[in-house]
Amino acid sequence: MSDQNPLFIPGPTNIPDRLRHAMNVQTRDHRAPDFVDTLLPILEDTKKVFGSTTAKIILFPASGTGGWEAAIANTLSPGDRVLIARYGMFSHKWIDMCQRFGLVPEIVDVAWGAGAPADTFESILSADKGHKIKAVLVTHNETATGVKSDIAAVRAAMDAAGHPALMMVDAVSSLASMPFEMDRWGVDIVISGSQKGFMLSTGMAICAVSPKALNAMETAKLPRTFFSFKDMLTTNATGGFPYTPPLNLICGMRESLKMLFEEGLDNVYARHTRLATGVRKAVGAWGMELVAQSPDLYSDTVSAIYVPKGFDSDLLTNHIYNAYGVSFGVGLGQMKGRAFRIGHLGMLTDVMVLSGLATVEMAMADLGYPVKLGSGVAAAQEHFRTSRAQSMAAAA
């Protein structure tokens, strides 16, 4: 029965039965003339989740990592400089990818628990009089630390410096869960994936690409075949794919968008904020601290939580899994052994989150943590109860 327990990792997320059924499709001919009627409406409607009317949506059979590769391979050339801050495992991995592609990252190392340093970016870009930096790469939601960066502030820094670099944003663990305004924030490429806010299986990288980024393809010299924007856009125009598409995920995407729009994107974002706040109330009641250094950095999709000194967070997550059959996020990179993560995104409710918090408390009690059973659950209950009552009163 353990497979009935919800996941509390920050992705892949729990899959609603409605979406599992939508992905359970028979093989069909993706070169048939009517496939255009399936694909093109999905590409158009997905723009709304990115907050764009002008971007092109491009789907690849891949995870978010494939989206990273597509973003740089289609727009940059060997030896190009890119500006990127390292403040968690996923920003670090993007740096590693750039180096493997022969790009030259200008790395700003930031404490894990902080966000993208817009002021530092502005100084570096202002000093780059020759505009040798071709792209600024930002991880919107650093999943390893539970930190949300201010993308609008990064755009303001780039504008203040008068710099023409592309801005690329990893929104894998934020899109469809937290607000994203691609057009308003002036983002050129946004990368997401099917397995988090869209609540589908892993296997589809979802990229939104601005007209400016599409123009950069014409001079980019990095190799790309499987991840070619041009090949994909050319065939998508008539409803096709340059190779076999992930049909089950495309069908699931249609239903995922329906679910998001039925709830209403603003309501989706408000639900994530409510759930995240409940988790944060519980963490405070346990006497523990978040890795994120300040409230403006708190992520609404994942909380990374320091365990008390003398305890090992890996032992905690292993015990939760072995004793209670529930998965929580382990500490990654610098957080290994020091922090565990609670994912609170996708298909989750107040009641499901309470069950996760209760499970953590039982495991901590088993391991001798200085935590009173029920303390975090009670704090979250009070928040969920009162915030829901306030929402109902406001709607009346």
Cα dihedral value 361, 363, 365, 368, nearest 10: -130
Mean pLDDT of 332-337: 96
Architecture category of domain 2-11+264-395 in CATH: Alpha-Beta Complex (3.90)
Instruction: Identify the CA nearest to 341 among candidates 314, 323, 310, 368.
Output: 314
Instruction: Identify the CA nearest to 185 among candidates 48, 45, 52.
Output: 52
Write out pLDDT tens, residues 17-76. 999 999 999 998 888 888 889 999 999 999 999 999 999 999 999 999 999 999 999 999
State the amino acid at position 259 in one-letter form. Answer: M
Q: What is the pLDDT of residue 107?
A: 98
Tokens of 305: 């939580």
Write out pLDDT tens, residues 194-253. 999 999 999 999 999 999 999 999 999 999 999 999 999 999 998 889 999 999 999 999
pLDDT band at 393 (very low <50, low <70, confident <90, very high): low
Domain with CATH 3.90.1150.10 in the chain: 2-11+264-395
Neighbours of 236 (CB within 10 A): 20
Neighbours of 237 (CB within 10 A): 10
If DSSP codes are grouped into helix, strand and coil, which group holds residue 134?
A: strand
Write out pLDDT tens, residues 271-327. 999 999 999 999 999 999 999 999 999 999 999 999 999 999 999 999 999 999 999
Tokens of 80: 């190009």
The Cα 93–Cα 319 span in angstroms is: 28
Q: What is the pLDDT of residue 373?
A: 97
Write out pLDDT tens, residues 349-365. 999 999 999 999 999 99
Q: Share the mean pLDDT of the chain.
A: 96
Least confident of 122-126, 140-144, 161-165, 390-394: 390-394
Q: Is 72 exposed, middle or buried (0-12, 13-18, 19+ CB in 10 A)?
A: buried
Please name every residue paired with 192 in a beta bridge, in sequence order, or none if there are none: 206
Topology (CATH) of 17-261: Aspartate Aminotransferase; domain 2 (3.40.640)
The Cα 97–Cα 80 span in angstroms is: 13
The Cα 238–Cα 123 span in angstroms is: 45
